[in-house]
Amino acid sequence: MPFIDAGDLPGDSEIVADLIVIGGGMAGLALAREWAGSARSVAVIESGGKTFDPAVQDLYRGAGVMRGPDSPDQPFDDYVGQSRRRMLGGSGMIWGGKCVALDPADFARRDWVPGSGWPISRAAIQPYYDRACDLLEIAHFPPGETGLDVAGKPALAIGDRKAFFSAPRRFTKFSGGVDKAAYDRWRFAPAEAANVTVYLNANVTELRLAADGQSLARLDLACLNGRRHTARGRVYVLATGGIENARLLLASNTVAAAGVGNGAGLVGRHFQGHVVFSVDDRKGGRTSGVYLSGTDNDMTLYTDGSKGAAHCVFAPTLAGQKARRGGNCTITLNSFRTPAPVDPELAALQQLAGGVDRGAPVARADRDLSCFVMTEHAPNPESRVSLGDSSDALGVPRVKLEWTWSEADWRRLESSVAAFGQALGEAGLGRLAFPAERSRYLAMAATSASRHHMGTTRMHRDPAQGVVDDTSRVHGVDNLYVAGSSVFPTSGIGNPTLTLLAMTMRLSDHLKSHLARAA
Amino acid sequence: MTPLDRRHVLLALTGLAAGAATPAVAALPEIDPEGARRIGQAYLDSHPGRRFDAGRLQGDLLPDGWTPEASARLRARAAADFRAGRLFIHRGWRLSDTEGRLFALAALTPP
């Protein structure tokens, strides 16, 4: 079916479909693609159009703050509105295309990480990862992969990979940040199917519950040109992103005062994101980095961050995390450091490391790499999305983000850094520099926040501990499901897109069998 | 135990056989003396309650001067330090305590 501009429909139109997908971003469009050509009718309800519109984007504007222990709050208002794209294709329009599967450890229950443990294992999600990789036309991520097999660039084995391994990343061309034309084909494709209709410029203003509160009765829609409509389906999938999913559930409070699916007060809580911790003070001789004294490996496997290149980072094994009771982390080698005026201490240090590690002096510039560290942001109910005091142009309350780090997060960061430095040194491979002070962590985090928004509708079989069950259905609402990284119970350290697509494939299969059974 | 002078300590720190002062060895650059001294002084400063002297450190680290056995032993000792978390952190660099002590020996050894 062609695209339909909801602003052109007669007022008070009713859109009817078997499956209604709220949000035409990567998750919503992937779901629509899965249903393309089926016997079921599908309606995708997208807020934006095919091109960027500042007036539509403004609907995302909100308030924000990043918090951490013993540091002044960091203003974060701009981030809320600018970290997503509200248009067909969603934030895939600005995504860099980096793909990675979460580590098996990320799915495990780790009694030292509060709130950890997915109700599904990595093995169970593997077939969906494979399908998501096929969708993005990249090679699969076999479970337990500890490095890429790239000719001439063997992955570096640190201490027999007991504590740290090389975690691969791959790039897809299907993202606005890599190949706009390819991504245009990808985002327009669902509408080519006869059973899929994509409605543009259609904003959901309320997920309207039935009077008994047990199911969704309809969607209330509004267009910026003033038109209002409704949409009615057999099942609904909310796929508007990690912040907006929570916002819509909370703002839909006509029938349930706390919002839809919020009986346990969990909607919006446990917000998790990824940030980078690094120091780059070359003049002051303080830069986070690695000096590799004990290997002659070609390290471009780790340092070439260009799109399409094979890429690895270092990450801890589950055993490594357990040994230090720490979370997941990654250490990314960034580039060769710019040669600075000779720093005698640095020279002495590198020469000594070479002597101890190799029995011969080495001080090679190409072994001197900068690095950054990312650490798992553990689930924390105080890190949350809630409704603010003002409303957008359509009357929907704007969002308020309180991105909160705990002292335990900082401890896990420090234990990760210590463990990696020790593993490198013990293996005789090199030395780590991480000259960061705890008082600076929050400022580093606030200036390096990724667009990865996770956890606000976390998955758990127990309605007291999660917003959606292990099928992604909202607890207590029969016909409402959530797609996207908001269902992640924990965040791991990896770009979430591949995982959210895998979870969407899994949801798609569930919905197909669910509707078949219902018929 | 024959006391080492600073040059021999510095050569030892780079893993060179200080006793084999062949032309080839002599042509190799020794470890940066000023950098080694500064790091060594930082190690000493980070242990304000302890007294160090060059003789004791040499007896601990290089009792027989530099030998191939000393090289292997120091490597194993540094690895054990890293394994046990006995670190000397200088300007953010994670060094083994043994490496810190080697630098301290350089700082305390007279030229």
For A431, the closest of B29, B79, B94 (CB atoms) is B94
Decide: A276 and A351 in contact? Cβ < 8 Å: no
Angle at B97 between CA B95 and CA B100, to 5 degrees: 75
Q: Crossing angle for the helix pair A497-518 and A26-35, nearest 10 degrees?
A: 40
Q: To the nearest whole percent, how much of chain B has pLDDT over 70?
A: 84
- A518 exposure class (CB count in 10 Å sphere: 0-12, 13-18, 19+): exposed
Q: How far is A284 from chain B (nearest CA, A)?
A: 10
| Contacts (Cβ under 8 Å, ≥6 apart) of A89 | A24, A25, A26, A29, A176, A183, A184, A186, A187
Does residue B26 sit at the A interface (CB-CB below 8 Å)? no
Whether the CB of B19 is below 8 Å from some CB of chain A: the reply is no
Q: Which string of b and e fits B69-82 if b means at least 16 CB within 10 Å?
A: ebbeebbebbbebb
ipTM of predicted complex: 0.89
Segment B41-58 mean pLDDT: 93
Name the helix (H) or strand (E) containing A34: helix A26-35
Which pair of tokens denotes residue A31? Answer: 């779901």
Residues 265-284 of A with CB under 8 A from B: 279
Size of interface A-B (CB pairs under 8 A): 117
The Cα angle at residue A433 between residues A168 and A404, in degrees rounded to 5: 70
pLDDT at A22: 98
Task: Report chain B residues whose CB lies below 8 A from the CB of A428.
Answer: 75, 79
Tell whether A471 is within 8 A of chain B (Cβ): no
- pLDDT score for B22: 40
Confidence at B21, pLDDT banded by 50, 70, 90: very low
User: pLDDT tier at B18 (50, 70, 90 boundaries)?
Assistant: very low
Cα–Cα dist A175/B95, whole Å = 42
Measure Cα distances from A61 to A79, A115, A253, A468, A498 in Å: 9, 30, 21, 26, 26
A427: left (phi over 0), alpha (psi -120 to 50) or beta: alpha
pLDDT of residue A150: 72
Task: Show pLDDT as tens, one digit a residue, over chain A (519 residues).
Answer: 689 999 999 999 999 999 999 999 999 999 999 999 999 999 999 999 999 999 999 999 999 999 999 899 999 999 999 999 999 999 999 999 999 999 999 999 999 999 999 999 999 999 999 999 999 999 999 987 777 767 678 888 898 888 999 999 999 999 999 999 999 999 999 999 999 999 999 999 999 999 999 999 999 999 999 999 999 999 999 999 999 999 999 999 999 999 999 999 999 999 999 999 999 887 777 889 999 988 888 888 998 877 777 789 999 999 999 999 999 999 999 876 665 667 889 888 888 888 888 766 666 777 889 999 999 999 999 999 999 999 999 999 999 999 999 999 999 999 999 999 999 999 999 999 999 999 999 999 999 999 999 999 999 999 999 999 999 999 999 999 999 999 999 999 999 999 999 999 999 999 999 988 887
pLDDT value of residue A385: 98
User: 10 Å Cβ neighbour count for A213?
Assistant: 13
Query: What HEC string does chain B produce?
Result: CCCCCHHHHHHHHCCCCCCCCCHHHHHCCCCCHHHHHHHHHHHHHCCCCCCCCHHHHHHHHCECECCHHHHHHHHHHHHHHHHHCCEEEECCEEEEHHHHHHHHHHHHCCC
Provide the 8-state DSSP code for A299. Answer: T
Going by C-alpha positions, the residue among A244, A289, A183 that lies closest to residue A484 is A244
Q: What is the mean pLDDT of residues B45-66?
A: 88
A422 and B83 within 8 Å at the Cβ level: the answer is yes
Q: Is the Cβ of B76 closer than 8 Å to some Cβ of chain A?
A: no
Structure confidence at residue B15 (pLDDT): 62
Tell me the domains of chain A and their CATH numbers: 3-518 (3.50.50.60)
Q: Residue A432: its pLDDT value, please?
A: 97
**Is the pLDDT at B55 greater than 50, yes or no?**
yes
CA distance A511 to A508: 5
Which residues lie closer than 8 Å to A263 by C-beta, 6 or more apart? A256, A463, A475, A476
Preferred mutation among A279, A287, A293, A352 to probe B, highest tally of B CBs within 10 A: A352
Q: What's the confidence (pLDDT) of residue A355?
A: 81
Cβ-based contacts of B62 with chain A (< 8 Å): none
Which chain B positions have a beta carbon within 8 Å of A432's beta carbon?
93-94
How far apart (Å, rounded) are the C-alpha atoms in residues A498 and A492?
13
